[in-house]
Amino acid sequence: MDREQQAFIFDMDGVIYDSEPIHARAKKQVLAECGISITDERLATFVGRSSKDFYGTMVQENPQCPVSWQELARRKHVLYKKMLMEDETITAIPGVRELLERIKAAGYIIGLGSSSTMEMIELVLGRFNLWDYFKAVVSGDDLPRSKPDPLIFLTVAEKLGVKPENCTVIEDAFAGVTAARAAGMHCIGYSNPNSGAQDLSGADKIVKSHDEIVV
């Protein structure tokens, strides 16, 4: 196949930028404002779990909390967006822009398949000025099935006009690696220490830095 008929598909959270530390900061601040404290170790046990699960548990364990779990989730979402837009210390993961440049220069096309909402995808890609690299962007939030189901990556491939077997996915999470393999795609596992304990053994290759990915 010509390289124009091949593609790389990126996950966003944990691959393009470190979302978990920002989520953790926002969660701890929102909880603190309601008189609830939580350790980093306890917070880590909720990585990948739903807002209802996390905030519902917090409200149940802290009956003095003056608001509902839904209101806690809303406040955290507002604060998270504010941090992304205004905190200049938040940057893209080192090497990701250079990797995108290498892939583009080599003649591959690039897509993005993220479980985040399209609102958050637009915010992140705009914040780091990365929109121009991606020819297809799909939010799993708009699909009936999410990772580890392969639908999101198959949808990106379809939008790119590339066969699944000619796609390489870059993922930092077990669910994403599973989805990529179920889609019949190649997969590079990016071992991000901020993404929690993720089993990336299903990937074709595991890297600890974007600089290790040779195009």
Would you say residue 1 has pLDDT above 60? no
Given a cut of 50, is residue 3 above it in pLDDT? no
pLDDT beyond 70 at 2: no
Antiparallel, parallel or unpaired: β 136-139 and 109-114: parallel
pLDDT at 113 over 70: yes
Q: Rounded to whole angstroms, how far apart are CA atoms 205 and 213?
A: 9
Please state, in angstroms and rounded to a whole number, the distance separating the CA atoms of residues 165 and 181.
Answer: 10
Least confident of 13-27, 37-51, 162-176: 37-51
Tokens, residue 2: 């010509």
pLDDT given for residue 45 in this prediction: 77
Task: Supply the residues annotated as catalytic.
Answer: 11, 13
C-beta neighbour count of 211 within 10 angstroms: 12
The count of other CB atoms within 10 Å of the CB of residue 158 is 14
pTM of the predicted model as reported, rounded to 2 decimal places? 0.87
Among 4-13, 121-130, 162-171, name the one with the lowest average pLDDT.
4-13
Q: What average pLDDT does the segment 202-214 reach?
A: 97
Share of the chain above pLDDT 90, in %: 76
